[in-house]
Structures are given as C-alpha cells and as structure tokens.
Structure 1
Amino acid sequence: MRKRKFVSWIGMTIATLFVLFIVSDTPYANQDIKPFLFGKVEFLDGILPDISFHYGAQYVSTTNIYSFIEFILRKLGHIAGYFLLTICLYATLTFTKLSEHRKIMLSFIIPICYAMLDEWHQTTVPGRTGRLIDVYTVDALGILLAIIIITVNRKMVRMG
C-alpha cells in the first residue's frame, strides 16, 4: 500500500511537470483567450476602477479589460501550477528518509529551479517571453502558499 501511494505521488509530480511544460511550450497565439472573453465580460467594462501597472516590461491596465482579465487568469495559472507541483513533490518526499527540514527545502528549491528553467524555455516558443519576474512573484507565491499550508498542516497533525 505504501509503495502504491509513493508511485502515485511520483506519477502526479511528473504529470504536473509535464502539464507545466506543455502549457509553457504552447505558442501564445494558441493560448490567447481574449477572443473567448470578447462579449462575455462586457458587463465589467467601465465597472472596474482604473488600474494600471508595469509587470516587468509589460504594461497592464483595466483600459483593455480583455487583456487585463487574461493577464490575471494567466498569473493565477502560474500560482495554481506551482502550488500543485510543490504539494505533489512534498508528498513524494514524505516517503523518503530525509529530515522534515530537507523535505521542505527541496519542496522549495526544485520548483523554483523548474520555474527558472520553464521561463528560459518560453524564450524559445513563438510569441512567448520568458520573464524572471514570473519566477520570483507568481511562481514563488504558489510555492510559498503550498509550503505554508504543508507546515501548518503538519503542526496541526502533531498537536491533535
């Protein structure tokens, strides 16, 4: 039973890595959701306050509601993807004899390294740009949220 769970977690970790790679390897033209959003979010036009900021070299603003929503959804995808990777990797590492400290450290270091590799890979994909800002903001946020949840969960299990 223990071996089956271990293999399942390894499989989920590899599957998550694979999905992250496939999404990263898809040209932007195939991922552009603005045409899908067109006409579906008209009710938001004019409702949102004027929000604008620079994200790396990209200018993001609510003046183009479709681009703004797409930006938010793409960044939420980063957070969710790296959150899931971190959870799966940590669960896999629980089957090793590593100390808890090392499991947590590896659950941070490996996803961060993969995120850096992923951003570099995106520089080779048509219409995509690799941005380190994604690694140290949204990817790191997903990883840190997972580690916080793991740590709090472990402490609660030990207490109760």
Structure 2
Amino acid sequence: MDLNLSFFTGLSCGVIIGISLFALKQYFGSFSKAAKTVQKFSSNSEYKLVLVVRTDLNMSKGKIAAQCGHAAVGAFEKALKRDPESLKVWQMTGQAKIALKTDSVDEIKQIAENAKKIGLITSLIRDAGRTQIAPNSITVLGVGPAPKDVVDRVTGHLKLL
C-alpha cells in the first residue's frame, strides 16, 4: 500500500512540476520574443505609425482621413501577421500615428521601397477612383508600427501634414 501511495505521489509531483515548467517557458518565452523585436531594429525608442499623404492630388480633408484610415488598417493587419510583437509594443504605448506630407508619387514609392529594405511594414494605398481621385492612384503610405528612430530613417525628412 505504501508503495502505491509513494508511486502516485511521485507521479502527481512530476506532472505538477512538468506543467509548471511548461507554463514558465510560455510566460518567459513571450518576453524573449518582445525583446527580439526591439533587437531586430536595434532601438529602444517609442513606437509609431507614420502616414505619408500625397498633397499633389488635392484631396479633401475627408478623403485624406479615409485614405489614412485605409493605410492604418492595412499596416495593422500586416503587423498582426508579420510582426505581432512590435504591434503589441505599439498598442501598449499609445498607438502613436503621425501624418506627414509629400507632393510626389515618385517620392512615396521611394519611401516605400526604402522602408521595405530595412524591414519595416508598409501599406501603400491606391484609390478605387469612385469619387475625387483617378482610379489606381497612390494616395497614402503607412509605415510601421516600429520604433520612431527607425521609421524616421525613411520619413524623417518629411513635414507634418
């Protein structure tokens, strides 16, 4: 009888220890993933999402707001799949969004290319052409969310909208 009791006591302790170790690995593993994200960009700065708006299209304020919304949602969806750790950091630190302007389709394409080269998420928005803008026109580029200093490498030269 003592042998059976000892066996089941040992088995129970082993299961509890195993579950505890698994839980600790999961808990601390999530922290190491977040740390890897910051290391990916070699930055400790705050996170932001930049929306680069083309001003040469002469969009109304409402149209700009709608296009920025498309870019923000697009960037969010891509971040959810490609870089959920950065997305979580951005969400937990105020979800900063900055609107900047450019007056050139060539510049917005170059910014998108440069951002992709350094591993930033981009969301390039093309208008459907149902209202003010010609179909397939590039209107807004979302860059990030990512550390401010990293995003500024490709958008720091632009002025606020």
Band the TM-score falls in, shorter-chain normalisation: under 0.3
Structure number having the greater helix percentage: 1
Structure number having the greater strand percentage: 2
Q: Work out which structure has the larger RCO, using CA pairs closer than 8 Å and 6 or more positions apart in sequence.
A: 2
Structure showing greater radius of gyration is 2
Structure 2 length as normaliser, TM-score?
A: 0.27
